[in-house]
Chain A
Amino acid sequence: MPATKSKSAKSKSSKSTAPSSNGAAPILRQHAEEQFATELAVLADADDRQRPPNWNLSPWAVATYLMGGTVGDTEISPKYVGQRRLMEVAIATLATDRALLLYGIPGTGKSWVSEHLAAAISGDSTRLIQGTAGTSEEAIRYGWNYAELLAKGPSFQAIVPSPLMNAMSDGKIARVEELTRIPADVQDTLITVLSEKTLPIAELGEEVQAVKGFNLIATANNRDKGVNELSSALKRRFNTVILPVPRHADDEVQIVEKRVESLGRALELPAEAPALTEIRRVVTIFRELRSGVTEDGKTKVKSPSGTLSTAEAISVVSSGMALAAHFGDGSLSAADLAAGIYGAIVKDPVQDAVVWKEYLETVAKDRDDWRDLYRACRELG
């Protein structure tokens, strides 16, 4: 399939030249393999272990890239903060040519991990299919260039390959984001690809067979459960790794603080940088409700229906900052946070309201330094 290959090569070259032709306008967000190019190069140099066919790095080096470490004199920054064993399972899965499904509540870094895995293994994280309710079979298999098709009839030249098809013929990693958002009948297109490692082109009586090194990383959201549940045939072809929420409060506080700071700068909010104590309180509330146990481990509480991810904690704090800046005295107070917290937690007006009220009365009320927050929340609820 020479045509297919040249096409992918072309699109790649055009992509790499685009920024320079546009002049100095900075790119909003770089791909992982570009942003961490030096780290990847250092790892590849130092890596003398066995690499699976068509992998840029050995599994061991991929694990180091994700979890961070030191190679020679170069510090490798950690990309994933959490349990090492999860990343090891993910990498081992890809090495045994099983597809990988990253599963978890929104905001736990599934897409982030998937991007970095693809970048480290294939050196290219751009073979991406975004799953939506409108994703069609063409987006997963291949489409047609209708001008070519009408002019010359069905041929390889007339095929517009999907990122998946490209990945198969190049022996690279393809990514599918939000697999469970894709309608069930379209999802099942993947079954043949994953079990037979081939993509038939019925119109030409041909097929594209996957080259060694091809694999698929999908992400799915377990809050969408039941929307487009994976068929058991498909589910069976994935190894599933569930990414949990941050285990330690300090990690989470740090993540929230960093993100809020950078968000605040981007939105040019005049409010002071939020006090660490306020962030800590928000994170504590979220963690306690999410895990169902207070941080001291002594009291259990009920969990609301919402996810309460780290990402939502970030949004509560930043909206609190906006409130403080525009309507308050400029510094973040409990009253600025209360509305945001209530909105994030009470997603179901009946059940969640009870959960929240119980939490306020049994946990928040007893904490002496939480008086202001308790009062502010009481007024709202």
Chain B
Amino acid sequence: MTVTVFGIRHHGPGSARSLARSLQDFQPDIILVEGPPEGDAAVPFVAQAGMKPPVALLVYAPDQLQQASFYPFAEFSPEWQALRYALEREIPVRFMDLPQTNRLALRAKQEEKGEVEVSQEKSEEKPEGEPDEEDSPELLRRSLPADPLSWMAEAAGYGDSERWWEHLVEQRQDGTALFDAILEAMTALREEVEKKHPPNLENPLDRLEAQREAHMRQTIRQAQKEGFGAIAVVCGAWHAPALVEPLPTRKSDQELLKGLPKLKVQATWIPWTYGRLASSSGYGAGITSPGWYEHLWQSTGSGDRPTETAARAAIQWMTQVARLLREEDLDASSASVIEAVRLAEALAALRESARPSLEEFNEAAQTIFCFGDPAPMELIHQKLIVNDRLGQVPADTPLVPLQQDLQRQQKRLRLKPQPMVKVLKLDLRKPLDLGRSQLLHRLNLLEIPWGEVRSARSQGTFKEVWELRWEPELSLKVIEAGVWGNTVESAATASVKSQAEKALFLADLTNLLDQVLLAALNTVISPLIERLQEVAAIASDVTHLMEALPPLVNVLRYRDVRQTDSAAVAHVVDGLVTRICIGLPGACASLDDDAAKQMVHRINHTHSALKLLQQDSHLQSWLTTLQQLGNRTNLHGLVTGRCCRMLLDEGTLDPTEAARRLGLVLSLTTDPTQAAVWVEGFLQGSGLLLIHDDAIWQVLDDWVTQLPGETFIALLPLLRRTFANFSDPERRQMGERVRLGRQKVTTEEREYDRDSADAALPLIAQLLGLQPPSTTSQG
């Protein structure tokens, strides 16, 4: 009866390769893998055809969905290889870690006590790297130093432990004796570390570690008791010394595991991505370069002659880099590939390592393919080194928690998914309707378009009208969205974060902010505003700035925002307004007709946004800018005309001055088309205003009446261009007003057509819900 312990690094291709080979030699009749025992039932799915890593084993508490743990696996994860080996040989395989039943319950209890502030992101990271530092949330600390491996790395003359492990273990091509060496090293290291920092069982994190190892030992004892002859134990290297024979007494372990709280949990598989496997995503046992590891795993799979396969892996990698660059239209010749491989090898030699690692390859690629420029390296990083892609799980894997959460919310909010279109009117003052609206907005942010807004509440009303329709493929989208989180809220939050990072244009971000506020995703608001500030500061295009302003002003005026956040938004708005005012005169130069039309459109929106904002200093500098624009003679007439009109409306320009300008523009020396667009800009959209606003009417009237007859006839075609745009009734009313002349301005006496008025009365009464008047009507 033998127990052999294989200490590995999670997601280490070298560990995986050595493990696969060692298992062949060892021929175990049972394999115990570090992982949650609740996952045992899900193991058979691993061998199914539809299962394509990266995937994650998800253990969650169905009653408390925010309590969940993910165990990601890639093809090159040693644990994955162990599972596959066992399934192929049809020998039993068991997970042996402390059950999540207890761990999630422990965590839930701690959170209740308020000891740990575990954010969703943090709590997702479960499987530990060889030292378990990532298990310790911010507030609580293990007694151990954060990275004990660095001691050994330093002793070996390496700057950091990652590099050391990489060179010694992951790049090793031979080495079935590797695990003995790891075990010996870790035993020595743990002795030393625990001497200096003895684990303290009062510290909940140290206690948890001890409990986990106790449970692992218990599982081994159980296997021994069942009579298995060759037991293979696969665990993080750090735990290896604790699991070798002779095991400590059973009693002490039983004592440790006594009285643990419990929580009902379930396990299932979900698709995972390489991006979320990368440590940059916040996953504790993450690796920096999943794509590179996959390459290492695939290119050295067979490997009888280690040095040759390694050389081939190097050349293949560089060729892939070159091909990627070529796809992106960057020159990368075969000669460059040769030079890059040579440089990488020379660099490795200079740094005294046997073969180049990713670092050397990157430096060689930057120097030779990119001519020293780091920008294309970003591309290589994304496409090759991280190589983000989504895994797949078989169709018959059990429901994911996000689906369950959605079902629960649908039930709570009494919203049934139905395949036919349904119109839903919401009154946002009612809590139920508000909840519905938030759920629908959140789903939209997750790109699960169940509902579509028919009328928005942009103007601060309490009504919102939705059109709902549940298409079958939405269920698939829910499973996909499961990557983001377990509840609709947390998933939407995570998704918004990633969208914000990707957004390049200011307007996208401001719109996103607006949606986030509608969806009431409060935690993501601050980071979003920060990102907004960042992008706003470098956005150089004034038109983008102008497009971004109205949604932000909307947010400030209408949305329910916390004090600090609204201060931050106000700060962004301040910056935007300042820069729009500085940049606008430049942006208005040399526009053609279409561009001018769009610019005027934007000026209108900015103007109304600023009016809405009601902040005097901004309005003042905006008006100053408009004045500058209005005074310039070399701009497109539409813009200057519009600006003069706005100034007139604001009272900055007095009516006589406006009339004088109108006269100047319409004088015969001006280019007729220029004059026409000026008037168009000046009178734009103001048919009704012209009828009811005396000031403008007066300006126009003064100007027309002082024109000599011949000039008037000459100008008539130009004016007609503008007036032709007004609607018929408007024009008729204008005509009437002209006919009545000046005296009409003061007196409101009018001859009523009683018959027509009577004809309209019944309808009005009906509209108002009154009894129809008793007067007879004439149909």
B630 to chain A, nearest CB (A): 21
B373 within 8 A of A: yes
Report B-chain residues with C-beta under 8 Å of the C-beta of A301. 537-538
Cβ A357 vs Cβ B372 within 8 A:
no
In the complex, which range does the number of interface residues on chain B fall in? 20 to 34
| Least CB separation from B574: chain A residue | A362
B540 within 8 A of A: yes
Cβ A241 vs Cβ B367 within 8 A:
yes
Report A-chain residues with C-beta under 8 Å of the C-beta of B583. 354
Cβ B339 vs Cβ A89 within 8 A:
no
A354 with B582, Cβ < 8 A, contacts A96-B346, A299-B537 known: yes
Q: How far is the CA of A301 from the CA of B578 in the complex (A)?
A: 14
Interface residue from A63, A89, A302 paired with B540 (Cβ < 8 Å): A302
Cβ A92 vs Cβ B533 within 8 A:
no
A92 to chain B, nearest CB (A): 4
Cβ B371 vs Cβ A235 within 8 A:
yes
Report B-chain residues with C-beta under 8 Å of the C-beta of A330. none
Cβ B343 vs Cβ A242 within 8 A:
no
Cβ A89 vs Cβ B582 within 8 A:
no
Q: How far is the CA of A301 from the CA of B534 in the complex (A)?
A: 9
Q: How far is the CA of A236 from the CA of B347 in the complex (A)?
A: 19
Which residues B304-348 have CB closer than 8 A to chain A?
331, 333, 335-336, 339, 342-343, 346-347
A300 with B339, Cβ < 8 A, contacts A92-B346, A357-B582, A361-B578 known: no
Cβ B538 vs Cβ A92 within 8 A:
no
| Least CB separation from A102: chain B residue | B372
Interface residue from B349, B363, B373, B534 paired with A89 (Cβ < 8 Å): B363
Q: How far is the CA of A15 from the CA of B593 in the complex (A)?
A: 72
B618 within 8 A of A: no
B351 within 8 A of A: yes
B413 within 8 A of A: no
Which residues B340-382 have CB closer than 8 A to chain A?
342-343, 346-347, 349-352, 363-364, 367-368, 370-374
Q: For the complex, count residues of A whose C-beta is within 8 A of B.
A: 32
Which residues A32-80 have CB closer than 8 A to chain B?
59-60, 63
Report B-chain residues with C-beta under 8 Å of the C-beta of A299. 533-534, 537
For B725-758 the 0/1 string (1 means CB < 8 A from A) is 0000000000000000000000000000000000
A239 within 8 A of B: yes
B559 within 8 A of A: no
B579 within 8 A of A: yes
Interface residue from A240, A298, A302, A362 paired with B367 (Cβ < 8 Å): A240
A374 within 8 A of B: no
Interface residue from B350, B363, B578 paired with A362 (Cβ < 8 Å): B578
B762 within 8 A of A: no
Cβ B373 vs Cβ A236 within 8 A:
no
A281 within 8 A of B: no
B173 to chain A, nearest CB (A): 23
Q: How far is the CA of A63 from the CA of B349 in the complex (A)?
A: 13
B663 within 8 A of A: no
Interface residue from B352, B372, B534, B575 paired with A242 (Cβ < 8 Å): B372
| Least CB separation from B346: chain A residue | A92
Cβ B333 vs Cβ A239 within 8 A:
no
Cβ B372 vs Cβ A103 within 8 A:
yes
| Least CB separation from B538: chain A residue | A300
A88 with B350, Cβ < 8 A, contacts A98-B343, A242-B373 known: yes
Q: How far is the CA of A85 from the CA of B344 in the complex (A)?
A: 12
B339 to chain A, nearest CB (A): 6
| Least CB separation from B579: chain A residue | A358
Report B-chain residues with C-beta under 8 Å of the C-beta of A101. 371-372
Q: How far is the CA of A361 from the CA of B540 in the complex (A)?
A: 16
Cβ A89 vs Cβ B347 within 8 A:
yes
A235, A239, A298, A361: residue with the most chain B Cβ atoms closer than 10 Å:
A239
Cβ B540 vs Cβ A239 within 8 A:
no
Q: How far is the CA of A238 from the CA of B368 in the complex (A)?
A: 8
Cβ A89 vs Cβ B343 within 8 A:
yes
Interface residue from B335, B343, B372, B579 paired with A96 (Cβ < 8 Å): B343
A269 within 8 A of B: no
Interface residue from B331, B535, B537 paired with A232 (Cβ < 8 Å): B331
Cβ B350 vs Cβ A300 within 8 A:
no
A95 within 8 A of B: yes
Cβ B363 vs Cβ A300 within 8 A:
no
A154 within 8 A of B: no
A93 within 8 A of B: yes
Cβ A95 vs Cβ B537 within 8 A:
no
Cβ A239 vs Cβ B343 within 8 A:
yes
For A233-262 the 0/1 string (1 means CB < 8 A from B) is 001100111100000000000000000000
A191 within 8 A of B: no
Cβ B371 vs Cβ A240 within 8 A:
yes
Cβ B363 vs Cβ A85 within 8 A:
yes
Report A-chain residues with C-beta under 8 Å of the C-beta of B537. 299-301, 362
Cβ B350 vs Cβ A93 within 8 A:
no
Interface residue from A98, A103, A298 paired with B371 (Cβ < 8 Å): A103
Q: How far is the CA of A88 from the CA of B583 in the complex (A)?
A: 46
Report B-chain residues with C-beta under 8 Å of the C-beta of A92. 343, 346-347, 349-350
A226 to chain B, nearest CB (A): 15
Report B-chain residues with C-beta under 8 Å of the C-beta of A242. 372-374
For B577-591 the 0/1 string (1 means CB < 8 A from A) is 011001100100000
Cβ A59 vs Cβ B350 within 8 A:
yes
Cβ B342 vs Cβ A89 within 8 A:
no
| Least CB separation from A357: chain B residue | B582
Interface residue from B331, B347, B349, B582 paired with A358 (Cβ < 8 Å): B582
Q: How far is the CA of A96 from the CA of B370 in the complex (A)?
A: 18
| Least CB separation from B340: chain A residue | A239
Interface residue from B343, B538, B575, B579 paired with A93 (Cβ < 8 Å): B343
Cβ A96 vs Cβ B373 within 8 A:
no
Q: How far is the CA of A60 from the CA of B350 in the complex (A)?
A: 6
A293 to chain B, nearest CB (A): 8
Cβ A241 vs Cβ B333 within 8 A:
no
| Least CB separation from A230: chain B residue | B371
| Least CB separation from A299: chain B residue | B537
Cβ B333 vs Cβ A300 within 8 A:
no
A208 within 8 A of B: no
Interface residue from B335, B346, B349, B351 paired with A236 (Cβ < 8 Å): B335
Report A-chain residues with C-beta under 8 Å of the C-beta of B352. 60
A91 within 8 A of B: yes
Report A-chain residues with C-beta under 8 Å of the C-beta of B351. 88
Cβ A236 vs Cβ B336 within 8 A:
yes
Cβ A98 vs Cβ B339 within 8 A:
yes
Report A-chain residues with C-beta under 8 Å of the C-beta of B582. 354, 357-358, 361
Report A-chain residues with C-beta under 8 Å of the C-beta of B339. 96, 98, 239
Report B-chain residues with C-beta under 8 Å of the C-beta of A236. 333, 335-336
A52 to chain B, nearest CB (A): 10
A242 to chain B, nearest CB (A): 4
A124 to chain B, nearest CB (A): 22
A89 with B367, Cβ < 8 A, contacts A103-B372, A298-B533, A357-B582 known: yes
B649 to chain A, nearest CB (A): 28
A82 within 8 A of B: no
B402 to chain A, nearest CB (A): 35
Which residues A80-112 have CB closer than 8 A to chain B?
85, 88-89, 91-93, 95-96, 98, 101, 103
Report B-chain residues with C-beta under 8 Å of the C-beta of A232. 331
A292 within 8 A of B: yes
B538 to chain A, nearest CB (A): 4
**26 cross-chain CB contacts under 8 A:** A60-B350, A60-B352, A63-B350, A88-B350, A89-B347, A91-B350, A92-B349, A92-B350, A93-B343, A93-B346, A93-B367, A96-B339, A96-B342, A96-B346, A98-B343, A103-B371, A236-B335, A239-B368, A240-B371, A299-B534, A300-B535, A301-B537, A302-B538, A354-B582, A354-B586, A362-B537
The 3 nearest A-B residue pairs measured at CB: A300-B537, A242-B372, A240-B372
18 further A-B contacts with Cβ under 8 Å, apart from A60-B352, A239-B367, A301-B537, are: A60-B350, A63-B350, A88-B363, A89-B364, A96-B339, A98-B343, A103-B372, A240-B367, A240-B371, A241-B367, A242-B372, A299-B537, A300-B533, A301-B538, A302-B540, A361-B578, A361-B582, A362-B578
